[in-house]
């Protein structure tokens, strides 16, 4: 059983070759990224393809940027980061939840060659940004919740091949759960400080507006992109200004640069 499980994980996590040059300038992105920014990743694995299908989105993965080790003021949290990451202390770090690995720390540079985008929580205070980062650090080591992914796919798409007796876990309340997927972990972190992502909006009879938290298990990477409360920040490989796009190095069908 363990061999079969490992084979499935290896199959789903196998990365396709990079198709083209990334369209974003990673160096600019790495220079401008801020603590508690959410980074969306297109992804090249088979599970990325599956995620894009059932979420109807270009984005298959979400990670949280936590800065460098020295940026973490709480010594207990800093030690936990050290326990999970043995790289250089000056490295820019992210926390992500991956199939086969669970909640881990990775260097930001891991996604240098990927199509990525920054989603920045608009107006979040430094205190709350630190709390969001602390929330995910405390969950390092949590396992990846494969069952939640399948239930989410069944919830979002009219799939018929899941047995009816297989009840969904999306609406079960299990405070002791130690399993997460990437987007729900980050959603829980922001909701813990009352920062909105895509809340349900209700208007009372007296015309007052109220916000209701959505179930964090229902969040997918594209929700951070779609949210009006997150700034979308892109760093294209060419910076355009008036008329400069006329000077881009276009290549015609004959291979000539114009």
Specify which residues 133 forms β-bridges with: none
Question: What Å distances lie between residue 185 and 190, 201, 216, 218, CA to CA?
Answer: 9, 22, 8, 11
Name the more confident of 56 and 176: 56
Name the more confident of 176 and 203: 203
The percentage of residues in the chain with a pLDDT greater than 90, rounded to a whole number, is 41
What is d(CA 116, CA 113) in angstroms, rounded to the nearest whole number? Answer: 9
24 pLDDT band, cuts 50/70/90, is confident
51 pLDDT band, cuts 50/70/90, is confident
170 pLDDT band, cuts 50/70/90, is very low
Q: What is the pLDDT of residues 192-205, one digit of tens each?
A: 999 999 998 888 88
137 pLDDT exceeds 70?
yes
Q: Chain-wide mean pLDDT for the chain?
A: 82
Question: So what's the pLDDT on residue 2?
Answer: 72
The percentage of residues in the chain with a pLDDT greater than 70, rounded to a whole number, is 77
Q: Which residue bears the tokens 């070759």?
A: 17
Other Cβ atoms less than 10 A from the Cβ of 53: the count is 13
Question: So what's the pLDDT on residue 181?
Answer: 63
Q: What is the pLDDT of residues 88-114, one digit of tens each?
A: 989 999 999 887 778 999 999 999 988
Question: So what's the pLDDT on residue 175?
Answer: 46
Domains of the chain: 8-238 (3.90.1720.10)
If you average pLDDT over residues 54-65, what whole number do you get? 86
**Vertex 133 angle, CA 124 and 31, to 5°:** 75
4 pLDDT band, cuts 50/70/90, is low
Other Cβ atoms less than 10 A from the Cβ of 115: the count is 18
150 pLDDT band, cuts 50/70/90, is low
Residue count of the chain, please give it. Answer: 258
Predicted structure pTM score? 0.80
CB 136 within 8 A of CB 103: yes
177 pLDDT exceeds 60?
no
* DSSP code for 26: H
């Amino acid at each position: 059983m363990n061999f079969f499980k490992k084979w499935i994980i290896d199959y789903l996590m196998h990365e396709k070759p990079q198709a083209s040059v990334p369209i974003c300038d990673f160096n600019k992105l790495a220079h401008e990224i801020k603590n508690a920014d959410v980074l969306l990743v297109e992804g090249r694995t088979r599970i990325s393809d599956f995620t894009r299908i059932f979420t109807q989105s270009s984005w298959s993965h979400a990670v949280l940027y936590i800065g460098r080790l020295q940026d973490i003021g709480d010594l207990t949290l800093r030690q936990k980061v050290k326990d999970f990451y043995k790289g250089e202390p000056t490295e820019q770090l992210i926390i992500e939840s991956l199939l086969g690995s669970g909640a881990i720390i990775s260097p930001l540079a891991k996604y240098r060659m990927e199509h990525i985008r920054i989603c920045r929580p608009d107006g979040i205070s430094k205190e709350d940004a630190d709390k969001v980062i602390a929330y995910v650090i405390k969950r390092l080591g949590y396992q990846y919740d494969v069952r939640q992914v399948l239930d989410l796919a069944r919830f979002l798409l009219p799939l018929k091949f899941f047995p009816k007796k297989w009840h969904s876990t999306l609406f079960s309340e299990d405070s002791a759960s130690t399993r997460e997927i990437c987007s729900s972990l980050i959603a829980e972190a922001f909701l813990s400080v009352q920062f909105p992502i895509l809340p349900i909006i209700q208007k009372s009879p007296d015309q007052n507006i109220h916000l209701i938290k959505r179930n964090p298990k229902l969040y997918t990477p594209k929700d951070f992109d779609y949210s009006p409360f997150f700034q979308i920040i892109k760093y294209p490989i060419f910076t355009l200004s008036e008329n400069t796009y006329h000077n881009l190095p276009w290549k015609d069908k004959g291979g000539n640069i114009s």
